[in-house]
Amino acid sequence: SFKDSNDDGIGDLRGITSKVDYLAELGITAIWMNPINNSPLADFGYDVSDYRSIDPMYGNFSDLKELIDALHAKDLKILVDFVPNHSSDEHEWFTKSVNREGNYTNYYVWKDAKVVENAKTVPNNWQAVFTNSAWEWNEKRQQYYLHQFLAEQPDLNYRDPNLVNEMQEIVKFWYNLGVDGLRVDAVKYLAEDEQFRDEPLKDPTLPVSMFNVDHKYRENQPLTYQIIKDWNQIVKNLASADGKDRVMLQEVYDNVTIMNSYSGGVEYPFSICLNGDIIYALTKGMTARDFTRHVQSWLDAVPQGSPPNFLVSNHDNNRVVSKLGKEMADTINMILAVLPGIMVSYYGEELGMEDAYVTWEQTKDPSGLRLGKEHYLERSRDPARSPMQWDDTVNSGFCSANCTPWLPLSTDFWSVNVAAQKAAKKSHLKVYQSLMRLRKSSTFQSEKTQYQINATDDSIMGVLRWADDDKKYLLIANFNTNWTKPLNSTFINIFKLNNITTFTVYCSSINSGYDDGQKITVSENMILRPQSAVILQNFQSAASSIIVSSFLLCISLSIAVMFRLSEDHLFC
């Protein structure tokens, strides 16, 4: 979805390479790409048919090397998706496992049928994420296989030492190719209970379903943590051997405590669980107190040695504008930028892109197609995956006017695009670039950087950042739909601002009514428009007068991540 280089309507590696300068101008530090392996696309690449391949629709290994070299030349890192819980049922491993061929016999989770009243049935009551039973009968092998997602995505068996060794070699393979990190998909499902016990019902009066069972026997098993630890050790050994920084991101959607239990802490600080909390909590009507509570709960749970991280959208979830409305586009980016740790941005969020409308006939996502024409939009992830908007030409510069993009563009591409926002005096893009410059400042990059986060009421969230000098940056965000005067006595006392009489606007949302470089007198208070935000500084600098003219940013087939493990920016 980022950039198509050959007019087949599909974004590809060369397309990303052609936009490396844009990524560098954004100011991000890394990109993360969704799966690029060979795949029959039952789940758009998350059903891998060859772990040591690149699907020809995206390019080849030469194209990947060209992209890696181009990114590294701009001091940008690259992460790729790794899908280890399951493969495609079209992988040769699965065919060989069905046929019980040598070491491949137990590469997948196979179980005999359970006999109930002389009839064969599934081994237990486990439910799949995308379907009903997590078990599928294979006539040739005469056994059921486990699939925690689609039947076309059979689960790999991490209790088989041959499979464990195979996957460790694949981890090494990708790092040795020169990628700087892996984003590990669906981590909590890697291992299952050895006894394959039925999962208890949450409500015994209701039937078995994905949402009415406690998944205690197929999620977050002790073996899963050991698998991740072994991969972490591989990364650590590689870094010890060549001195190169690498990272491993874990995707786990669960409660805050469990998610953070996957981060590597002091022993493996490069191993980080992505924050899956706010991305689902962020909804229209969310208050400043709500948002602050979610931020603080994550910060409280992060293990020592691990950097926090914050993201609010990705390829599986709606964009910020589609969740909260256009007025919140800058405000959310500004909040994420001043929070400690890694900022993760989905491509197009720097422009305030919104989800596209995708008709039933245009729908590609299997999770939407399975629901049929009347309900496909309830589960389809296609709207958030629409092509990047580069300019106002036909197909918005994603591909030429002669091709058909794999998904339709958002209908506002003619006004919400890179070219228009570069040319504008003030734009979402220029706000984002200012934010990336701020994150690279000494205040944010210092080992002594500190922060204070608070919501003084349901409307106003504040974040104060400082280091070892008197320079302070203060974010004020208005979540309300009314005008507000934030610099009241309560706010000033909470953030201990009594000795500051004047602020200068470092950065402001385009809907704030304030200009960068403008003076704010504390005693006169300020009036903040609905759903807008400002970042103030208590000193005058050259930077504050040139904000509008400089650029920094992030991407889509990918994500921007941090490698100093402090204040970095991951783009996906």
Provide the annotated active-site residues: 185, 251
Report how far apart, in Å, the C-alpha atoms of 147 and of each of 120, 124, 176 are. Answer: 18, 13, 30
Token code pair at residue 396? 């918005």
Place of tokens 């078990």: 135
Q: Which of 185, 342, 318 is nearest to 253 (CA)?
A: 185
Whether 344 and 561 have beta carbons less than 8 Å apart is answered as yes
- Distant-in-sequence contacts of 243-246, Cβ < 8 A, 24+ apart: 244/180, 245/77, 245/180, 245/270, 245/563, 246/175, 246/180, 246/181, 246/270
Helix axes 428-439, 329-338, angle to 10 degrees: 0
- Give Rg (Cα) of the chain: 24
Give the max Cα distance, the chain: 83
Q: Which two tokens stand for residue 285?
A: 């009507």
Tokens representing 47 are: 């059903």
- Of 487, 491, 552, nearest in space to 514 by CA: 487
**Beta bridge partner(s), residue 570:** 30, 560
Q: What residues form DSSP beta bridges with 462?
A: 454, 476
Give the whole-angstrom CA distance, residue 463 versus residue 69: 37
